[in-house]
Amino acid sequence: MTTDTTSAPNFIRNQIREEIEAGRTGKIVTRFPPEPNGFLHIGHAKSICLNFGLAEQFGGDCHLRFDDTNPAKEEQAYIDAIQADVSWLGFEWAGPVRFASDYFDQLYAWAQHLVREGKAYVDDLSPDEIREYRGTLTEPGKPSPYRERGVEENLDLLDRMRVGEFVEGEKVLRARIDMASPNINLRDPILYRIRHASHHQTGDKWKIYPSYDFTHGQSDALEGVTHSICTLEFEDHRPLYEWFLDNLPVPVTPRQIEFARLNLNYTLTSKRKLKLLVDNGIVDGWDDPRLPTISGMRRRGYTPASIRKFCDMIGVTRADGGLVEIAMLYHAIRSDLEDNAPRAMAVLKPLKVVLTNVPEGHEEVYEVPGHPAREDMAVRRVPFTREIFIDQDDFMEEPPKKFFRLAPGKEVRLRNSYVIRCDEVVKSESGEIQELRCSVDFDTLGKNPEGRKVKGVIHWVSAEHGVPMEVRLYDNLFQVEQPDKDKDADFLEHLNPESLVTVQAMGEPSLAEATPESRFQFERVGYFCADRHACVDGTLVFNRTVGLKDTWAKVQKQEAQKKEQDEKEQDKKKG
């Protein structure tokens, strides 16, 4: 058993540890079972971190198994993307990539076994009739007229279903359990449906496909899974999961444990809804940096470590329905990049500044640390020239009192360089500011000017040597915390029209070397990542990963302070 270093404790971890210590469990085997009908999202990351994390922590195995029982919605492209995402997150599955479809022969044999035991039958009711006969939460169901069919007839019909003698919906195979069970899942659930669909793994071999319930537990058992961890919506399926294991000659009996799914505010964690955004061209594919997909977050600039850290922070519980703040996810990536991203200067809204007392052709180069606390990072060479760009937001013609940046007649320090004073504002005929003319105080390199206090420091880029680049400013995709809260309304109405704003920016020359997916802090601006698709042939496109302001940490701090104060007051009252 390895030590608990990678992940925070939670109820499942504690339970498994107890089992191991009591000698009730040997080597543990978990699995991550995605359906290849879309890309993985941050909710899946929670499940991945949990399942792979447990295997890592207790020296067990975690399998990657595609739960591929619905060929109509599944695609090879999703299979490839899911594998890439799991690997990118830093996890390795034990053994080969597995597919539930690998077990179709065995599952079929087990279906025949149930028929022979009188525990399954072919039903001719239509899907609507089946629903009607099933009853409700308050009323028991009633048996299908086909429920008492003989074994031989059932076996024959099942075989003819398999080879495609019937049309879709004409017949199903059902378990024969209890039409009056208080748990609707036990009212003769469907085991096989007819589907004349070609399957990405098995081709045209099958005309019937097993249901999720008939597939999942048996696949777990065939793989020797010890702990089958899933989300809470499967809690009511657990008796059925166990019924199959009890009534089939399975090699081992895994145990199902449920936990609460992750819901994140200002976004959606449902593949179906994300697919709708992709299919309607509302976002730029499954890896659009605004999506909470793992590949979208990757393109946005998230690191695997930051996603794993976030999953540790949110923990694993059985408390359902909570919304986790996206600010917490932003916090996780921000603190990673704070420590690990090299710094650079970039001006998002360039305003030209001519430094009138710097001669034309003059150039000096500053050697600036790549990161204030990381000597291992390469030093940057930042050239200073007569013409530079500053950000439009760092200049105001009529500044309010506490504006410590540049204004007519005012001074400001250029980061890593001199103090300059704004002497003149040059405007176009229509009154738009075209450039500023400023003068440099050459006595201020690395020291304060004599007798004057210059509070503001702004970033800048040499106009001559700076590199043009496109910057994509991403924000929350939705304007409201829970876009799909109202089930009858259209969640698309809540899209944030400003979720992507693109600007033409100027960056310091060192950024020309940025490789796809390299991440930076643009000083005073935020954290950015070179786009993995667009940065080719010298084109520079940066995606904003996250801003600098940490609202989550701030709120945590305020809450801690308030708690402390409350406690003090309580103590005072007590005397």
Q: Which of residues 230-269 bind ligand ATP (CB under 6 A)?
A: 230-231, 261-262, 269
Shortest Cβ contact with ligand ATP: which residue?
A: 43
- According to DSSP, the β-strands at 29-32 and 61-66 are parallel
CA 472 to chain centre: 19
Contact yes or no for 421/405 (Cβ under 8 A): no
Of Mg ion, ligand ATP, none, which one sits near residue 271, judging by CB under 5 to 8 A according to partner kind?
Answer: ligand ATP
Looking up tokens 């440099």 gives 440
Q: How far apart are CA 29 and CA 24, in angstroms?
A: 14
Catalytic pick among 31, 174, 207, 271: 271
Of ligand ATP, Mg ion, none, which one sits near residue 235, judging by CB under 5 to 8 A according to partner kind?
Answer: none
Catalytic pick among 195, 207, 255, 261: 261
Query: Is 83 an interacting residue with respect to ligand ATP (CB under 6 A)?
Result: no
Q: How far apart are CA 352 and CA 343, in angstroms?
A: 22
Query: Is 44 an interacting residue with respect to ligand ATP (CB under 6 A)?
Result: yes
The residues that bridge with 387 in the sheet, in sequence order, are 354
Known active-site residue 432: no
Contact yes or no for 361/341 (Cβ under 8 A): no
Contact yes or no for 397/433 (Cβ under 8 A): yes
Q: Which of residues 272-301 bind ligand ATP (CB under 6 A)?
A: 272
Known active-site residue 261: yes
In the complex, least distance from residue 271 CB atom to ligand ATP, rounded to whole angstroms: 3
Q: How far apart are CA 299 and CA 477, in angstroms?
A: 15
212 is in an annotated binding site: yes
547 is in an annotated binding site: no
Known active-site residue 74: no
Of Mg ion, ligand ATP, none, which one sits near residue 46, judging by CB under 5 to 8 A according to partner kind?
Answer: ligand ATP
Q: How far apart are CA 294 and CA 42, in angstroms?
A: 6
Query: Is 171 an interacting residue with respect to ligand ATP (CB under 6 A)?
Result: no
Looking up tokens 């004349």 gives 196
Report the 10 Å Cβ neighbour count for 80: 11
Contact yes or no for 403/433 (Cβ under 8 A): no
Contact yes or no for 74/36 (Cβ under 8 A): yes
What the block records as the tokens of 280 is: 């309607």
In the complex, least distance from residue 1 CB atom to ligand ATP, rounded to whole angstroms: 25
In the complex, least distance from residue 496 CB atom to ligand ATP, rounded to whole angstroms: 21
In the complex, least distance from residue 476 CB atom to ligand ATP, rounded to whole angstroms: 18
494 is in an annotated binding site: no
In the complex, least distance from residue 572 CB atom to Mg ion, rounded to whole angstroms: 54
**203-215 core/surface letters (b: 16 or more CB in 10 A; e: else):** eeebbbbbbbbbb
Among 8, 15, 20, 35, binds ligand ATP (CB under 6 A): 35
In the complex with ligand ATP, the residue whose CB is nearer, 160 or 200, is: 200
41 is in an annotated binding site: yes
- According to DSSP, the β-strands at 61-66 and 364-368 are unpaired
What the block records as the tokens of 96 is: 């080969």
Among 199, 216, 271, 298, binds ligand ATP (CB under 6 A): 271
Of ligand ATP, Mg ion, none, which one sits near residue 230, judging by CB under 5 to 8 A according to partner kind?
Answer: ligand ATP
Binding residues for ATP, by number, are 35-37, 41-47, 231, 261-262
Binding residues, by number, are 35-37, 41-47, 67, 212, 231, 261-262
Known catalytic residues? 35, 261, 271
Residues that bind ligand ATP (CB under 6 A): 33-35, 43-44, 46-47, 67, 230-231, 261-262, 269-272
